[in-house]
Chain A
Amino acid sequence: MLIKINFSKIFATVFAGLVFLSMISILGDILVSAFEHLSLSFLLEDVESAGRKGGVFPVIVSTLLILMVCMLVVLPLGILTSIHLCKYHEKKSSLHFLIRKLIEVLSGVPSIVFGLFGNSFFSVILDMGFSILSGGLTLALMALPLFIYTFERGLSSVPQKDYLVGKSLGLSSWRIYKEIILPQATPSLIVASVLSIGRALAETAALIFTSGYVDRMPESLFDSGRALSVHIYDLAMNVPGGDRNAYNSAFVLMFLILSINAFFHLLHKFYLRKSKAVEEIS
């Protein structure tokens, strides 16, 4: 018995170590290559010579705009759909079942399929062309299943009695959600947002055909704008001599993702402290 436990412990440690090592080696590779060449001007200059010279400022702006469009769609749609799906509405309709199955299927669809759909639907049929808008909307479609899946779990973990107590006091559903359920599910809302943002920022295939390839500073949401991931892909795979700036851009993207994660982590901590304080008072 004792030996068995030790074995499993060793196995667990070894594999955890492997995962840790692979992550460190990716981060380390990017960090080492980027620190040799990276300078502040890289963040603030325009793209030149197909990305081999100059910086990535317009690309960063495009990336953030695409992300903004994406989250403006994902948050309201995602929150409302999760509320609709969660366990408080016990009536199991076939619509429920259908939505749930569709979300499961959609979360497994390869991103290039979303890209082609986004291109033919948003860019061609809705005539948005290659634009930040159609890129952001395509990403929203991709991120929604993940968001709903995560947030619905969080909502469902709030004790059902809270909902019933609210009902028994004659509160409207709106009040119950706003005052009781949603505040308790905030941690999962934060997690769902972080995961969605991560998925959106890492996306390349869906964006090449929707938000496009143009590395000029976008003037409106109807302009094409190159995302950082597309820029990295193009530099590494398509532009001779683009390797160095591909690493630099990868570093910028990594930094962006880590700082967004850190921001949400702090938000989470702040929220936990606040809710503890409220509990102590009551």
Chain B
Amino acid sequence: MKILILSLLFCSQVYAVEKLVLTGSSTIAPVLSDIAKSFEKKNSNFRIDVQTGGSSRGVNDARKKLNDIGMVSRKLKDSEKDLSVYTIAKDGIALITHSENSISSLTETQVKQIYRGRIKNWKEVGGQDAAIVVVNKAEGRSTLELFLKFFKLKNSEINASVVIGDNEQGIKAVARNPNAIAYVSIGTAEFNQSVGTPIRLLDFKGVKASVKNVENGSYPISRELNLVTKDKPNSTAKLFIDYVLSKDASSIIREHYFVPVLKK
């Protein structure tokens, strides 16, 4: 047993490899760990460790040099312009309801009123007579930030019945409740719809919520998926970022229902 432990402890010193640590957005983490794996297969002396924690953590860790690359699933704020940014993909946010709900689109004002708690019944926007169950995201999620910014709302104004963390949780909450409304990543919503989860993606400003419309830029509520570094990235980080922006990686990004941004 002792020998086993000692040998395990020493292993890391024997095989010195180039290591990169990424932390940040839980939206980006699964797709990047997939890309990292395919990168490691091609470059066997690299180890890319992808961790999570949320976009804000990605920014903070990059500043404190606790990671090599941070993952941020929103546009960088003005106060964050000290970091170098690489946009790797785009993602839209869709408003979703249960597929039994007859509503197929809502206006900007209606969405605002629903989330503020002014409109409390689906009847008021032309639906069935039932109370609206408002699903909101937890503080610190980039989907929440994008949603608030787009609809010019404050989180304190929102009158939510359910507060959730991840996209999948939002979809589960709506799929179980015919009177719920939530906002989640379009890619995730489209995938769930394609496998038969009973949800409906609402049109917004006459544009269908779909990955295609995010790609061509016609769908308005969308966000960027970014990688950030403190200074100019070192050669290892640069190599990996270039790979993420390459054609090889874009097929993996599509597999995760995001829209890749190719390097120009």
Chain A residues near B (Cβ < 8 Å): 48-51, 65, 72, 124, 129-130, 208-209, 212-216, 219-224, 234, 236-242
Contacts and interface: CB of A to CB of B under 8 A. Distances in A.
Contacts of A215: 33
A220 B12 contact: yes
Contact of A238 (B26, B50, B192): B26
Contacts of A216: 37, 40, 47
B3 interface: no
Contacts of A222: 9, 12
B51 A219 contact: no
Contacts of A49: 34, 255
Contact of A214 (B27, B50, B165, B255): B50
Nearest to A123: B66
A51 to B, nearest CB: 8
Nearest to B13: A220
A213 B11 contact: no
28 contacts: A48-B37, A49-B255, A65-B8, A72-B5, A130-B49, A208-B52, A208-B53, A209-B53, A212-B51, A213-B29, A213-B49, A213-B50, A213-B51, A213-B52, A214-B49, A214-B51, A216-B37, A220-B8, A221-B12, A224-B49, A237-B169, A238-B29, A238-B52, A238-B166, A238-B167, A240-B188, A240-B256, A242-B168
A241 B169 contact: no
A49 B50 CA distance: 14
A234 B169 CA distance: 11
Nearest to A243: B168
Contacts of B52: 208, 213, 234, 238
Among A49, A51, A209, the most chain B Cβ lie within 10 Å of the Cβ of: A49
Interface residues of B, number: 37
Contacts of A237: 165-166, 168-169
Contacts of B187: 240
For chain B, what secondary structure do more than half of its interface residues adopt (helix, strand, loop), or is it mixed? helix
A126 B12 CA distance: 17
B47 A240 contact: no
Interface in B19-68: 21, 26-27, 29-31, 33-34, 37, 40, 47, 49-53, 66
Contacts of A240: 167-168, 187-188, 191-192, 256-257
Contacts of A50: 30-31, 33-34, 256
A220 B51 contact: no
Contacts of B8: 65, 220-221
A269 to B, nearest CB: 25
Nearest to A211: B51
Contacts of A48: 37
A51 B33 CA distance: 10
Nearest to A68: B5
A49 B255 CA distance: 8
Nearest to A223: B12
Among B8, B37, B195, the most chain A Cβ lie within 10 Å of the Cβ of: B8
Contacts of B195: 241
Among B9, B10, B30, B256, the most chain A Cβ lie within 10 Å of the Cβ of: B30
Contacts of A221: 5, 8-9, 12
A240 B168 CA distance: 7
Contact of B30 (A212, A224, A238): A238
Nearest to A208: B52
A48 B40 CA distance: 13
Among A65, A129, A222, A238, the most chain B Cβ lie within 10 Å of the Cβ of: A238
Among A65, A214, A222, the most chain B Cβ lie within 10 Å of the Cβ of: A214
A72 B50 CA distance: 27
Among B11, B40, B169, the most chain A Cβ lie within 10 Å of the Cβ of: B11
A239 B191 CA distance: 11
Contacts of B11: 219-220
A236 B11 CA distance: 33
What are the 6 A-B residue pairs with the smallest beta carbon separation, nearest first? Answer: A50-B30, A220-B12, A220-B11, A237-B166, A240-B191, A240-B188
Given A216-B37, A219-B15, 9 more contacts: A49-B255, A50-B30, A72-B5, A213-B51, A220-B9, A220-B10, A238-B52, A240-B167, A240-B168
Nearest to A129: B21
Contacts of B5: 72, 221
Contact of B168 (A208, A220, A223, A236): A236
